[in-house]
Amino acid sequence: MSGAPRDAVLALNAGSSSLKFGVYERQGPALWTGLFEGLEPGGTPSWHLAGETARALLPAPGQDGFAAALDALLALLAARGRRLAAVAHRVVHGGERCVAPCVLDAELLAYLHTLEPLAPLHQPHNLAGVAAIHRAQPALPQLACFDTAFHASMPEVERRLPLPRDFESRGLRRYGFHGLSYESVAGTLATVSPRAGGRLLMAHLGNGASLCGAIGGRSVASSMGLSALDGLMMGTRSGALDPGVLLYLWRDGWTLEQVERLLYKQSGLLGVSGLSADMRTLRASAEPAAAEAIALFTHRLLREAGAIVAVLGGLELLAFTGGIGEHDAQLREDVAAGLGFTGLVLDPAANRAAPPDRPVPVHAAGSAVEVWVVPTDEGRVAADAAFRHLDAA
């Protein structure tokens, strides 16, 4: 490619041993997306771009996996005529302080580390990714984009927990999550449906799952609360659970660590089925426990959906996104049937034929509620925030 390199932003979602990434210019979908794996100490690092075969990643002597991943990305960008201008990180929990994207510095990182107990599966790894980038490229601008920020518009009655008032000073309140996904979906819907500014229910359904009710494109209700454990049954997480279960387990001698592992890693679809956390595996199984897990997942989804529809005062548009939401036509059909009391009528043929790569309506003609399948692009939302920062700097 001739001419000066064009600016690009790297959107990152760091896990314990993996790094999902997308490279974005100022407009349009990601130029490239991909995944690094095996980045843990002693791991076998590899990476691939979407649609390509995996290739080995060879860190230099003494170099950690995340630094090697950044080197590989910088080489990729240089070879394709782009200059890395900033990095935008998905950070799950922003607490009460972070209600918009923030430039990362030492003081902010210290605060975000205090929130790790509220998102132990994600927050420590998100922040480790920030530290790895800083070690490798200390002058590179880094921003945090928070899954909780989209829900800062929720009314006080939705955010408050029914605990003594002085607990609020400790940050104990409902926050909501999957905000980058909901911002992406709401933004897409605003371009394709005039109803997007009305009473909207968005379902982000994947290994993590939640619902968001919005009016005027702004969150007013979330199925998730203080932590990403609340609400829907998920791949390995329990979702909403009677607190008495926890008291019972502690009285029975369970440790905090055992209970945390149960709730985050051993419950949900995996725990109920005893087979898998993957909905595709359960759909293909003839085991009764697989069907029972799917039935419970669907039932819990309908219970939460009905509650949010009541808070919204009705429903004008329902949107499905996430790995399950975008690909599982049977689940969409079952949820639509359960919400039939709202006047929602699905078009079975359109639902079965819905492609996962663009927003499509799947409601029948005459349905009182529009139903859309919308692919989410959290990286685009994060990249937009980074470009706004660069323009203001």
- 125 annotated ligand-binding residue: no
- 156 annotated ligand-binding residue: no
Instruction: Verify whether residue 105 is a known catalytic residue.
Output: no
- 323 annotated ligand-binding residue: yes
Q: Per-residue DSSP letters for 46-82?
A: EEEETTS--EE--PPTT--HHHHHHHHHHHHHHHTTE
- 6 annotated ligand-binding residue: no
- 90 annotated ligand-binding residue: yes
Q: What is the DSSP letter of 242?
A: -
Which residues, other chains included, contact 146 with Cβ-Cβ below 8 Å and sequence gap of 6+? 91, 92, 93, 94, 98, 99, 101, 102, 179, 180
Terminal CA-CA length for the chain: 28
Helices (H) and strands (E) in the chain, counts: 14, 14
Block residue for tokens 């590179």: 140
- 265 annotated ligand-binding residue: no
- 326 annotated ligand-binding residue: yes
CA distance 145 to 86: 13
- 216 annotated ligand-binding residue: no
Which residues, other chains included, contact 238 with Cβ-Cβ below 8 Å and sequence gap of 6+? 229, 262, 263, 267, 268, 271
Residue 16: Cβ-neighbour burial (10 angstroms; 0-12, 13-18, 19+): exposed
- 20 annotated ligand-binding residue: yes
- 204 annotated ligand-binding residue: yes
Q: Which two tokens stand for residue 282?
A: 């359960």
- 231 annotated ligand-binding residue: no
- 207 annotated ligand-binding residue: yes
Q: Which candidate, 263, 334, 326, 327, places its Cα nearest to that of 305?
A: 334
- 48 annotated ligand-binding residue: no
- 28 annotated ligand-binding residue: no
Catalytic residue among 71, 147, 357, 391: 147
**What residue numbers does the annotated binding site for ATP cover?**
20, 204-208, 278-280, 323-327
**What residue numbers does the annotated binding site for substrate cover?**
90
**What residue numbers does the annotated binding site cover?**
13, 20, 90, 204-208, 278-280, 323-327, 378
**What residue numbers does the annotated binding site for Mg(2+) cover?**
13, 378
Which residues are annotated as catalytic? 147
